[in-house]
Amino acid sequence: MKDVNKILDKLEELYPDAHCELEYTTAFELLIATILSAQCTDVRVNMVTRELFKKYNKPEDFASLPEEEIMEEIKTCGLYKSKGKKIKATSEMICRDYNGEVPDTLEELTKLPGVGRKTADVVLSNAFNKDAIAVDTHVFRVANRIGIVNTKTPEKTEFALMDVIPKHRWSHSHHVLIFHGRRMCKARKPECELCPIKGDCDFYKGKEWYFWESLRLQYFYHY
C-alpha cells in the first residue's frame, strides 16, 4: 500500500506553486478555456483566449455568434469545428436554463454540451473552490506510473484517486500531478533519475529491475 500523503508531500515540495495554468477571470472563461484545452496545450489555449476574451467573454456573447465565427476565432486550438459547436451550444444552454450563470454542481455542469467529468471537475475545483480531482492525460499517466492507482480509464482513475487521497487534498493533488507530468514524468522521456519520488514509483522500480537484470544476463552469457 502506497503512502499517498508522503508522495503528495514530496510533489508539493517540488512544485510549491502548482496551479491551474489556464488563464481566466470568471467561471465561464475557465469553462470555455477548458473546452478548448482538449488535445491542445494550455500555452496555445492562453494565446487564443487572451484575444478572444477581449471581444467575447460572456455566455450571451457566444450564444449570439454564428458557429462559423466562433470556429474562426479558435481555429489554432485544433478540433475547432467540434469545439465551436460545443461552445455555441453550451453558451445557449447557460443563457436559457441557468440565467446566464455557470452551474456549480457536477450534475448540472455535465448536462452542458461537450462538458464531461474532467471539464466539470476543473471548473468546480478552480472556479468554485470545491473538492474535485480532474483527470487529464497527465494525471492518468502519472498516477498509474507511480502505482497510486491501477486503472484503465480516466473515469476509473478519478474514482480510485478519490478513494486513496484525502478529500481536502483532491484539488491540489490534481495540480501537482499535472505539473509533475509536464515537467518531469513526461510521456516519452521521463526524467526518472531526477525524480524525488522514484523510491515510491512502480515504473522506476520496473526500469531499475530491467537494468540490473540486463547486466546480470550480460555477465552470465559473457562468462
**Does one domain contain both 14 and 73?**
no
Asked whether residue 69 falls in the same domain as residue 44, the answer is yes
For 153, the grid coordinates are 480509464
- The answer on pLDDT for 21 being more than 80 is yes
Q: Could you tell me if residue 210 is inside a domain? A: yes
Over residues 4-24, the mean pLDDT reads: 97
Q: What is the C-alpha to C-alpha distance for residues 99 and 76, in angstroms, rounded to an integer?
A: 31
Pick the catalytic residue: 83, 86, 88, 118?
118
| Nearest CA among 135, 159, 164, 132 for reference residue 147 | 164
Specify whether 9 is located in the same domain as 50: no
- Amino acid identity of residue 92, one-letter, is E
For residue 34, what are the CA distances in angstroms to 130, 198, 207? 17, 31, 34
5 shares its domain with 34: no
Read off the pLDDT band of 208 (50, 70, 90).
Answer: low
In the predicted model, what is the mean pLDDT of residues 7-29?
A: 97
Q: Which one is catalytic: 121, 136, 198, 200?
A: 136
Per the structure, the count of domains in the chain is 2
* Together in a domain, 84 and 144: no
Burial of 121: CB neighbours in 10 Å, binned 0-12, 13-18, 19+: buried
Q: Cβ-count burial of 181 within 10 angstroms (0-12 exposed, 13-18 middle, 19+ buried)? A: buried
Assign residue 184 the CATH number of its domain. Answer: 1.10.1670.10
Residues 15 and 45 in one domain: no
Residues 137 and 218 grouped into a single domain: yes
Is residue 114 in a domain? Answer: no
Give the integer Cα–Cα distance in Å for 169 and 104.
19
Q: How confident is the model at residue 206 (pLDDT cuts 50, 70, 90)?
A: confident
| Per-residue pLDDT tens digits for 107-142 | 999 999 999 999 999 999 999 999 999 999 999 999
Residue 118 annotated as catalytic: yes
Residue 141's domain comprises 1-19+131-223
